[in-house]
Structure 1
Amino acid sequence: MGMFSIWHWLILLFLFAIAASLVGLIVWFAKRSSKAPGNPVANAQKRLQQLEELRAQGLISNEEYARQRAAIVTGL
C-alpha cells in the first residue's frame, strides 16, 4: 500500500464515488431534458390548423373556434 493507510484509500474511494455520482446526475438531467416535447410553436400551428379544419367542416361554432384559438395562443 505504500505510504497510504487504509483510511487514505477509503477517503479516495469516497471522493471518486462522489465524483462519479455527480457525473451520473449530470448525465441523467441531460437525458431527461432532451426528452422535452418538440417545438411549441410548430405544435401550436398544427393545433390551429386542426381547429380551422373543424370550423370549416362546421363541427364547431365560430364562438368555440375563437375560444379554443385564444387558449392555444395564450399557451405559447
Structure 2
Amino acid sequence: MDGLEEIYGDRIDFFGLDVDLTETRALREKYGLNRRSTYILIDAEGNEIGWWIGPLYQEWVEDDIDFALSTLETN
C-alpha cells in the first residue's frame, strides 16, 4: 500500500484497522475481516467495490482503483 495514498489521497481516504483491538470489532464484523493483510475498497455509501487479501501487487491495485474511480466518476 506504500505510495497509494500519495497517488490517490486527494480522492480516496485511507485508514488502517488493527484486527487485534476490541474497538474495531464492529467494523471487522461488518466487512468480515478476521485476518491481517486484508484490504477493501469501499465507496462513499459503504459498499465494497474491491477486495485484496495477502501480499499486494501495487500495479493490480492501481488498476482496480483507477477502474473504480472512473466508474464512480461517470455515474
- TM-score for the superposition, normalised by structure 2: 0.24
Structure with the largest fraction of strand: 2
Please say which structure displays the higher CA radius of gyration: 1
TM-score by length of 1: 0.24
